[in-house]
Amino acid sequence: MASQTKLKKPNSHFSLCTFLFFTVLFTIPALFLLRTSSCSSSTAAVSSSSDTDQPPWSGDLQTAQFAWNRLDFSLTNPPPKTLKLAVFSRKWPTGPNPGGMERHAFTLYTALARRGHRVHVFTSPLDQSPETNKIPPVSDQIIYPIIHSHGDAEPGKWRYNKAWELYQEENKKEPFDAVHSESVALPHWIAREVPNLAVSWHGIALESLQSSIYQDLIRKPDEPRSQGFNASLYGAVLPKILDEIRFFHNYAHHIAISDSCGEMLRDVYQIPEKRVHVILNGVDENGFTSDKKLRTLFRSKLGLPENSSTIVLGAAGRLVKDKGHPLLFEAFAKLIQTYSNVYLVVAGSGPWEQRYKELGEKVSILGSLNPNELKGFYNGIDLFVNPTLRPQGLDLTLMEAMLSGKPVMASRYASIKRSIVVNDEFGFMFAPNVEALTAVMEVAVAEGAERLAERGRKCKEYAAEMFTARDPDVLMVSVFPHHVINPTIESLRTLQLGSSSTFKIPTPWEKDNVLYLVSHSSCDGLVCLYNHDKSGYVVNPTTRWYRPLPLCDYQKLMIDLRDGYYKLKRKFFMLGFGKDKFRGTYKPVWLYNSAEIGLKNATTCEVFDFSTNAWRYVTPAAPYRIAAYPAPVYLDGSLYWFTECKETKVLPFNLHTETFQVVCKAPFANVDPYKIVFYNLDNRLCVSEMKWPNQVIWSFNSGNKTWDKLFSIVLDLNFVTGICAVLPLALFDGKKKKKKKKKLMFCGRVLSQTLNTHDLETKSYDVTFTAESIGFPVLYFQSLISIP
């Protein structure tokens, strides 16, 4: 078997170290600078919120025993060597709600492929759902992993022997530089034949032993020990630990997802420190944010009081014993005997659901929630409780809660204490027993909602620095050379911020050579392409999923009238795209003035319903005629337009209630529509007007319905034409999120060929990216979302 692998032994050490280096760049979402001080790693994590800059850590990265999340890497430099990488992963995400392991694998290996590495993923059969359209890969420019799914099994059912056969076949063509296995996707009798193998551990047998101990310790004095406990402990668990200790030395490198797991591998398993590396899990910062509206709606639906004296605890996960629900059930039952202002909301399903119902109206059982529903859950609670009896791994729910701005209460395990609740300000820890949990609950309730909210803000800062951190990518739509008559139009090309390399995304519709526009705002990693007389598409540039949109009545009218539409001086309106954040549904929206086509109402509104695959009218439509330009923008559950009134107004369309309501006047009036621009900048509704040579940018203050001046930029003819207002795309800093973002990325809107950066402090300009054409650019964050 060893002779069949044909691996590159002379370069295996360099290749694997290089692989691990790039693993860090993309497994860790938010990376922050490690301090060179005498404090512990956990203290350094907390001290990162201070304003004192200290020199960065330097040294041999292989000897670093802290989590690599604490480091700050440059994403702009190309890899010193491109590698051919083999990956063994039991599952690969295909549906809209993949699990944590699947999300981890997809994010890591897609990012490595986009860096130029040739990544081959060997996995179980994929679930080819009928609604899933995928843009096929091309051989000349691979920016996604190449998926090798074995046959002879149901979707998602892993057969390592079949995957190994596919690996051997590909390895014969050109040997792999490095091989990566997610946990024990490759069994040890195969893994021992691979000298350059790195393994990510999401839990090891020694941690499983601890879990067995904690679960036995919560037995009642008169409750007998389970019959299988001793047999399992001595017949399976202990021998497995010893087998692991003896065998783990055969792996070239180990990647632990918690600090405590890294310590066990070094201290108990006796793996040399240069071969053990800690990289913590991460979560999508766009999927978990603080939202007061979601909090109010969530509590209203459950009938929970919305006042400062009410405390709502929340727990999420499978309702089974090893998740600690026996502890939570008993502790909460005791708590409500003393405190009448406390409620518990449980997201999940399982055997303990019926037991919780015994506690009456004080407990709400929600069942399993999708990602959009989880946002409401986290926002609706005051404190997240995780009473798990399983110390292995690193629970994503704790990270999600912290990123949503909630303090946490968790079992005092080394994995949680060392990597998540590293500061007492982040919440509460307890020994995994009923008495300790009850006592710490009483302390939390006594603190009150205001103090808990203060803790939550600290949690959010830490989580944003440690567990997140992708900058958005730029999608360039309809790229073509402007000086060429009848040019060939390239549908999609993507650029990672900070990089000078772009990647083409081939599409089935590219052969039609149609010029597509793109809605101003992306939404959860989805973008909406449209043409006024062609079917449009909703596309996920990350997964290459797409879904076509049929023609609406507005488009059919333009097709019927053809040139007559423009001879009648009818305006060219633009498609809006956004999301009903309460239901989690996505909605393309056409809003256009209707008086010119013989209708009495000021506007007509058509909304696309993905569930019926059809457009429908919304009545009443907007009460004011709208400006055809600039394009509508999406923010926080609403689409926004400018009105065509003498005094320009801002007109939002609530995508949940599907109603229009004027919120305020614009900070200007009677202006050339090409001199103003409307956009979402750093999750703020912003407008600006160009008065050469200046362009002022205002941000909408939803509290008092006024506009606050953010800054004014002095335009430079070397970077813009002066014909139209420039289009701001992003505010960024590049290092720490706590610092004020001081750089503005923008582009011109007339045959633009560059993305530019303006330093708001030095007033200097720089070219971020230049090409023959950048098409119509839009920012998006990578996601796995599709629309069934």
Nearest residue to 81 via CA among 29, 36, 118: 118
- Higher pLDDT: 251 or 438? It is 438
Question: Residue 733 has what pLDDT?
Answer: 62
CA–CA distances in Å: residue 74 to residues 17, 18, 22, 32: 17, 15, 11, 11
Nearest residue to 405 via CA among 375, 444, 367: 375
Question: Residue 252 has what pLDDT?
Answer: 85
Render pLDDT for 652-673 as a digit per residue (tens, 0 to 9): 999 999 999 887 777 877 777 7
> Mean per-residue pLDDT for 465-472?
71
Whether residue 523 has pLDDT greater than 70: yes
- Higher pLDDT: 426 or 249? It is 426
Render pLDDT for 755-786 as a digit per residue (tens, 0 to 9): 888 888 888 888 888 888 888 899 888 777 88
Render pLDDT for 708-721 as a digit per residue (tens, 0 to 9): 888 888 877 666 66
Sketch out the chain's domains with CATH numbers: 2-204+252-278 (3.40.50), 292-466 (3.40.50.2000), 473-780 (2.120.10.80)
Dig out the tokens for 595 from the structure: 């008086």
Nearest residue to 649 via CA among 629, 633, 676, 626: 626
> Mean per-residue pLDDT for 20-30?
38
> Mean per-residue pLDDT for 336-354?
93
Q: How many CA atoms lie within 13 A of 263 on its CB side?
A: 10
Per-residue pLDDT band at 615 (split at 50, 70, 90): very high
First to last CA, the chain: 43
Nearest residue to 70 via CA among 29, 110, 13, 9: 29
- In sequence order, the β-bridge partners of residue 179 are 86, 197
Dig out the tokens for 763 from the structure: 């007033």
Per-residue burial over 620-633, b = 16 or more CB atoms within 10 Å of its CB, e = otherwise? ebbebbbbbbbbbb
- pTM for the whole structure: 0.70
> Mean per-residue pLDDT for 25-49?
32
Per-residue pLDDT band at 365 (split at 50, 70, 90): very high
> Mean per-residue pLDDT for 310-329?
92
Question: Residue 52 has what pLDDT?
Answer: 36
Per-residue burial over 49-58, b = 16 or more CB atoms within 10 Å of its CB, e = otherwise? eeeeeeeebe
Dig out the tokens for 510 from the structure: 């590219």
Helix (H) or strand (E) holding 780: strand 776-780
- In sequence order, the β-bridge partners of residue 606 are 590, 617
Whether residue 567 has pLDDT greater than 50: yes
List CB contacts of 566: < 8 A, sequence separation 6 or more. Answer: none
Total number of residues shown for the chain = 788
Render pLDDT for 726-736 as a digit per residue (tens, 0 to 9): 888 888 764 44
Render pLDDT for 400-409 as a digit per residue (tens, 0 to 9): 999 999 999 9
Question: Residue 35 has what pLDDT?
Answer: 26
Question: Residue 6 has what pLDDT?
Answer: 34
**Phi then psi for 200, rounded to 5 degrees?**
-95, 130
Per-residue pLDDT band at 194 (split at 50, 70, 90): confident
Whether residue 53 has pLDDT greater than 60: no
Please provide the average confidence, as pLDDT, over all residues in the chain: 80
- Higher pLDDT: 651 or 202? It is 651
Q: Cα(663)–Cα(126) distance, rounded to whole angstroms?
A: 47
Percent of the chain with pLDDT strictly greater than 70:
82
Q: Cα(777)–Cα(714) distance, rounded to whole angstroms?
A: 22
3-state DSSP assignment of residue 54: coil
Q: Cα(296)–Cα(300) distance, rounded to whole angstroms?
A: 6
> Mean per-residue pLDDT for 126-149?
62
Per-residue pLDDT band at 138 (split at 50, 70, 90): very low
Percent of the chain with pLDDT strictly greater than 90:
27
Question: Residue 425 has what pLDDT?
Answer: 94
Render pLDDT for 70-110 as a digit per residue (tens, 0 to 9): 776 555 566 778 899 999 998 887 655 566 667 667 767 87
Nearest residue to 32 via CA among 742, 734, 745: 734
Quick check: 69 and 30 in contact, CB under 8 A? Answer: yes
DSSP string, 449-497: HHHHHHHHHHHHHHHHHHS--PPPEEEEEEE--TTSSSPPPEEEEEEET
Lowest mean pLDDT of 147-151, 477-481, 682-686, 752-756, name the range. 752-756
Whether residue 534 has pLDDT greater than 80: yes
Question: Residue 362 has what pLDDT?
Answer: 93
Q: Taking the CB of residue 612, how many other CB atoms lie within 10 A of it?
A: 8
**Phi then psi for 430, rounded to 5 degrees?**
-150, 155
Quick check: 630 and 673 in contact, CB under 8 A? Answer: yes
DSSP string, 171-189: HHHS--SEEEEETTSS-HH
Whether residue 114 has pLDDT greater than 80: no
Per-residue pLDDT band at 185 (split at 50, 70, 90): confident
Whether residue 447 has pLDDT greater than 90: yes
Question: Residue 570 has what pLDDT?
Answer: 67
Question: Residue 667 has what pLDDT?
Answer: 80
- In sequence order, the β-bridge partners of residue 779 are 474
Beta-strand ranges (E) seen in 350-392 are 363-367, 383-386
> Mean per-residue pLDDT for 605-628?
93
Question: Residue 166 has what pLDDT?
Answer: 94
Dig out the tokens for 92 from the structure: 């690969």
- Higher pLDDT: 198 or 598? It is 198
Give me the amino acid identity at 467. Answer: F
Q: Cα(648)–Cα(661) distance, rounded to whole angstroms?
A: 14
Whether residue 458 has pLDDT greater than 60: yes
Whether residue 338 has pLDDT greater than 90: yes
Per-residue pLDDT band at 738 (split at 50, 70, 90): very low
- Higher pLDDT: 198 or 752? It is 198
Question: Residue 763 has what pLDDT?
Answer: 81
Per-residue pLDDT band at 173 (split at 50, 70, 90): very high
DSSP string, 86-126: EEE-S----SSS--HHHHHHHHHHHHHHHTT-EEEEEESPP
Quick check: 53 and 32 in contact, CB under 8 A? Answer: no
Quick check: 367 and 176 in contact, CB under 8 A? Answer: no
Question: Residue 721 has what pLDDT?
Answer: 61
- In sequence order, the β-bridge partners of residue 475 are 494, 778
As a whole number of angstroms, the longest Cα–Cα distance in the chain is: 89
- Higher pLDDT: 248 or 329? It is 329
Render pLDDT for 370-420 as a digit per residue (tens, 0 to 9): 777 888 899 999 999 999 888 777 788 899 999 999 999 999 988 888 888
